[in-house]
Structure 1
């Protein structure tokens, strides 16, 4: 049991890291007024194009759509990676202003990941209850 614990916790820690990274993008790169002033100056740095692309992404709900697509794929396929991707993109969408689809994708991804992790712990000799 203890040998499997790091492998079972890794996706959850990575989801938390994805959420923290998205929070840094939002509060460190997109929202500060100083960043907006730097990027509207005549000689704007090259990284302002990335900031502008991120802003356009949440204005057009790209992050919510991507999270929902990953959630649908996670429901159709029995892959832990897709469940993790749905949860991570859901956390990103939540932070980047796509609340409704982000929350739904995060919920679906987490529930699917729990289900798939639980299914991996069932002994092979167990028979289903009738």
Structure 2
């Protein structure tokens, strides 16, 4: 299977980088206790801000819903930029406890990314 032909190489590289960074943040930072437990006492403001941003990102499955919205819009509109947003946020959602909406958003985004590359290459062949 030719990875360049189906635009999978770029998608897989981004997936590995995003998933690796998300797993490191989840297991190496959040669950390892590297961030302050109690941010009410005015400890490290930057670390508390980072912790709050990470926790708020996956509370109420916000990252997963972002992926689903972006992936659905990308699928309907055929927009690669929305598909990339859905793909990356979906991978984050799969790591950060937003499985249900993130899985659907990720798959819809992946369909758009692969189909758009195929159409682009098919158009190049027709022009030649």
Pick the TM interval, shorter chain: 0.7 to 0.9
Per the alignment, residue 119 of structure 1 pairs with 119
Which runs of at least 4 in structure 1 moved beyond 6 Å after TM superposition?
Answer: none
Cα distance in structure 2, aligned partners of 1:99 and 1:116: 25
Per the alignment, residue 39 of structure 1 pairs with 37
In structure 1, stretches of 5+ residues that fail to align are 126-130
Displacement of 1:107: 1.1
In structure 2, stretches of 5+ residues that fail to align are none
Per the alignment, residue 128 of structure 1 pairs with none
Cα distance in structure 2, aligned partners of 1:43 and 1:82: 38
Displacement of 1:30: 1.7
Per the alignment, residue 57 of structure 1 pairs with 57
Cα distance in structure 2, aligned partners of 1:81 and 1:14: 14
The structure that has the greater radius of gyration is: 1
Of the two structures, which has the highest relative contact order with CA contacts closer than 8 Å and spacing of 6 or more?
2
For 1:83-94, list aligned pairs within 5 A. Answer: 83-94=83-94
Q: Is 1:71–1:82's contact at 8 Å kept on the other side of the alignment?
A: yes
Per the alignment, residue 24 of structure 2 pairs with 24
Name the TM-score, length of structure 2 as normaliser.
0.78
Q: Is 1:29–1:35's contact at 8 Å kept on the other side of the alignment?
A: yes
Superposition CA RMSD, Å: 2.5
Q: Give the SS at the match of 1:97.
A: coil
Q: Is 1:29–1:51's contact at 8 Å kept on the other side of the alignment?
A: no
Cα distance in structure 1, aligned partners of 2:12 and 2:81: 12
